[in-house]
Structure 1
Amino acid sequence: MPGVYLEESDNFDVALRRFKKQVEKSGILSELKKRQHFEKPSVMRKKKKAAARKRLLKKMRKINMM
């Protein structure tokens, strides 16, 4: 769980920025967005397969550019 400890000399804005960075790095918000609505297992598989295909095509384009 992300957390930021403040010292007396720390600025609130700096602490907030550090906290946001920790939350983003831990993936809490993306997990929350995924779980906001129920998604059927078949839809999850389709999305996963589409993402894999997209990554593969991107890799192929990168190789062809060289």
Structure 2
Amino acid sequence: MAGFVNYVKESFGELKNNVTWTPWAEAQRLTVLVAVFSIIFSLAIWGVDTVFSKIIALYFDWING
């Protein structure tokens, strides 16, 4: 158990002293960028899925007469 406690203490020390954190303004800007691209990508996938489902429905309507 002492090994785990030592590991956690060293991890916090590493995060506090040796990690270079992204500035807050840049982190916010990148978060918005990721959100916008995620929405655009999901809309593109939804559009392609809708088109393909309509094409497949038309195909099955056509072969079933």
TM-score normalised by length of structure 1? 0.43
TM-score normalised by length of structure 2? 0.44
User: Higher Cα Rg: structure 1 or 2?
Assistant: 2
Q: When you count helix as a share of all residues, which structure comes out higher?
A: 2
